[in-house]
């Protein structure tokens, strides 16, 4: 059985239009999740270790103020297009679109005010919550009125996140959740003792602004071969990597696939990622620097968390040989990601 509870979490500042932010608490025997109507943010995710003890395994803040200030997308749904678009530019039906540049020369995670920085309309479900918003034509430079639904449901050890959208004009769309995980518990110094595997035969090399070069490279014989579990800290050392911030190319198809698994030996916690998406961005919190005060006054230094963001490939709008990122009127965008928590 999953119970769902809603409560007040805070008010948006007047300059942001005020508005009540609610928190939705989804609870099963083995997982407890708190989700905000602001940015569809997963603010807390508690799961048991092998001794049955609960810990919160996602980074974030205790108050709404933390989330309304600048932060690295902790727990939020990002869009209209997750990840980077080169120079914030793309052409569509002969027209050029210019987006806001918020990541060096590129546009990242929807621009200046993406889906992570707005209030969504909630609807309580028997085992979860569904959020809706209309992204108006021209918002952040994107074409078309886009209706978006993000649904979180909790069944036992499994949290499902479903994304649906419909548009009035052809538009690029790629939605993901940007939760930062540490299976030892949020506030733990690093994730070097985590063992990770990703079911991908290829990945996307990037330029120095993190835009894919266009090459789809085999992981075989490189530090990007994560098909067998590797202990993260030792692996980064062995291959002289500063960390990961790369898209791994998944098997194409609309079926649910197990794409990644993380195991934390000291606590026994495991997390599996299943998805219908064509890519997964593996990010090891390289830009965290300890400057943000998180939950319980924790600080979050570099490599104190990892993200596994299921999505389309970065800059797909400018790379015709990448999976299609366009949604046309009359079509439906519909993808699901499942996070399964267990102990070993």
Annotated binding site for beta-D-galactose: 83-84, 178-180, 245
pLDDT band of 90, cuts 50, 70, 90: very high
pLDDT of residue 16: 85
Determine whether 335 is an active site residue: no
For position 254, what pLDDT does the model report?
Answer: 74
**Taking residues 125-140, what's their average pLDDT?**
98
How does residue 164 score in pLDDT terms, banded at 50, 70 and 90? very high
pLDDT above 80: residue 253: no
Q: Measuring CA to CA, how many Å separate 166 from each of 309, 330, 331?
A: 22, 7, 7
Is 246 tagged catalytic?
Answer: no
The helix (run of H) or strand (run of E) holding residue 237 is helix 232-238
Q: Which of 34, 46, 139, 309 is catalytic?
A: 309
- Catalytic-role residue among 34, 109, 139, 178: 178
Residues 6+ apart with CB under 8 A from 37: 9, 21, 22, 23, 24, 119, 120, 121, 122, 131
Is 252 a residue whose pLDDT tops 90?
A: no
Query: Tell me: the pLDDT tens digits for 166-176?
Result: 999 999 999 99
pTM summary value:
0.97
Total domains in the fold of the chain: 1
Could you tell me where the beta strands, DSSP code E, fall in 95-244?
Answer: 95-98, 107-108, 121-125, 128-135, 146-155, 158-167, 171-172, 176-177, 195-198, 202-203, 217-218, 230-231
Whether residue 163 has pLDDT greater than 90: yes
- Mean pLDDT value across residues 85-94: 96
Predicted pLDDT of residue 43:
98
Kindly tell me if the per-residue pLDDT of 332 is higher than 90. yes
Annotated binding site: 83-84, 178-180, 245
Average confidence (pLDDT) over 43-56: 97
The pLDDT of residue 134 is above 80: yes
CB atoms within 10 A of CB 91: 10
Average pLDDT over the chain, rounded to an integer: 97
* Helix and strand numbers, DSSP H then E, in the chain: 2, 27
Token representation of residue 167: 């548009």
Helix (H, G, I), strand (E, B), or coil: what is residue 200?
Answer: coil
As beta bridge partners, residue 167 has 146
> Worst-scoring range by mean pLDDT, 33-47, 178-192, 246-260?
246-260
291-306 pLDDT, tens per residue? 999 999 999 999 999 9
Q: Which domain holds residue 53?
A: 3-343
Cα–Cα separations (whole angstroms), residue 338 to 5, 31, 274, 316: 21, 13, 5, 23
Choice between 255 and 180, residue whose per-residue pLDDT is larger: 180
At 131, which CATH number? 2.70.98.10
């Amino acid at each position: 059985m999953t119970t769902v509870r809603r409560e007040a979490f805070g008010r948006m500042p007047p300059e942001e239009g005020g508005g009540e932010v609610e928190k939705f608490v989804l609870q099963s025997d083995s997982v407890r999740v708190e989700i905000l109507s602001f940015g569809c943010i997963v603010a807390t995710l508690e799961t048991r270790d092998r001794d049955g003890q609960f810990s919160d395994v996602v980074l974030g803040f205790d108050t709404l103020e933390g989330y309304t200030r600048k932060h690295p997308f902790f727990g939020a749904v990002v869009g209209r297009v997750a990840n980077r678009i080169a120079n914030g530019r793309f052409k569509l039906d002969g027209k050029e679109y210019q987006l806001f540049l918020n990541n060096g020369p590129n546009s990242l995670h929807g621009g200046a005010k993406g889906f992570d920085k707005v209030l969504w309309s909630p609807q309580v479900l028997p085992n979860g919550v569904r959020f809706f918003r209309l992204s108006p034509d021209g918002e952040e430079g994107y074409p078309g009125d886009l209706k978006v639904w993000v649904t979180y449901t909790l069944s036992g050890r499994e949290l499902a996140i479903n994304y649906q959208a419909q548009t009035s004009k052809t538009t690029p769309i790629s939605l993901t959740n940007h939760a930062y995980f540490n299976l030892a518990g949020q506030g733990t110094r690093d994730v070097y003792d985590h063992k990770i595997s990703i079911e991908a035969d290829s990945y996307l090399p990037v330029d120095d602004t993190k835009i894919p070069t266009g090459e789809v490279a085999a992981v075989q014989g490189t530090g990007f071969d994560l098909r067998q579990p590797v202990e993260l800290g030792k692996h980064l050392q062995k291959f002289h990597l500063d960390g990961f911030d790369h898209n791994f190319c998944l098997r194409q198809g609309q079926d649910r696939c197990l794409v990644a698994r993380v195991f934390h030996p000291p606590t026994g916690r495991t997390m599996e990622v299943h998805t219908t998406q064509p890519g997964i961005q593996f990010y090891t919190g390289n830009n965290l620097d300890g400057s943000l005060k998180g939950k319980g006054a924790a600080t979050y230094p570099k490599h104190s968390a990892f993200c596994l963001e299921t999505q389309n490939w970065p800059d797909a709008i400018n790379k015709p040989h990448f999976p299609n990122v366009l949604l046309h009127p009359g079509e439906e965008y519909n993808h699901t990601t499942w996070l399964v928590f267990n102990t070993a």
